[in-house]
Amino acid sequence: MKKVLVLTMVLFVFLLASCATDAQVASQNLSLSADQFEINRRVVFYNGITGDYILVVEGLCSIEADTVDNQLELTCKVSPTTYKKHFLGLSDNVTYFAEQLEPSSVSEYHYRVIFKPSVIIPDIDVELP
């Protein structure tokens, strides 16, 4: 029974992979590379009424759009063990664009899977009264 379940899951993954176009796989791999802080980006916040740049952030940054709070969350790696997080509010006249600063080699034939045991087994902090 267990072998049948594993075989079914493997076939399902291959079926999903065969449904994606090369561009979709490359795009997904680029996004994953950026989320692993492997791609330099420039994120520019632009005021559509005045035509001015409000803020520019450059570096190894992961971008997440928070539609609930109408903000953009940037997490940037500034050293091997140091990160900074920026929250930038969006409005009807403020928008942003993100630019990849350098080309990156990704495969359109293979998906990337990154397994991090530290995410599955959390580091628990205990506070004593």
**Per-residue pLDDT at 113 exceeds 80:** no
pLDDT for position 26: 81
In sequence order, the β-bridge partners of residue 53 are 46
Q: How confident is the model at residue 32 (pLDDT cuts 50, 70, 90)?
A: confident
In sequence order, the β-bridge partners of residue 87 are 73
pLDDT for position 20: 72
**Per-residue pLDDT at 94 exceeds 60:** yes
Q: What number of CA atoms fall less than 13 Å from residue 20's CA on the CB side? A: 17
pLDDT for position 103: 84
**Per-residue pLDDT at 9 exceeds 70:** no
How far lies 115's CA from each of 53, 81, 102, 121, in Å? Answer: 38, 19, 26, 12
Q: Maximum Cα–Cα distance for the chain, whole Å?
A: 64
For residues 27-42, average pLDDT = 89
Q: How confident is the model at residue 24 (pLDDT cuts 50, 70, 90)?
A: confident
**Per-residue pLDDT at 40 exceeds 70:** yes
For residues 19-29, average pLDDT = 79
For residues 97-102, average pLDDT = 89
Rounded to two decimals, the pTM is 0.65
pLDDT for position 62: 94
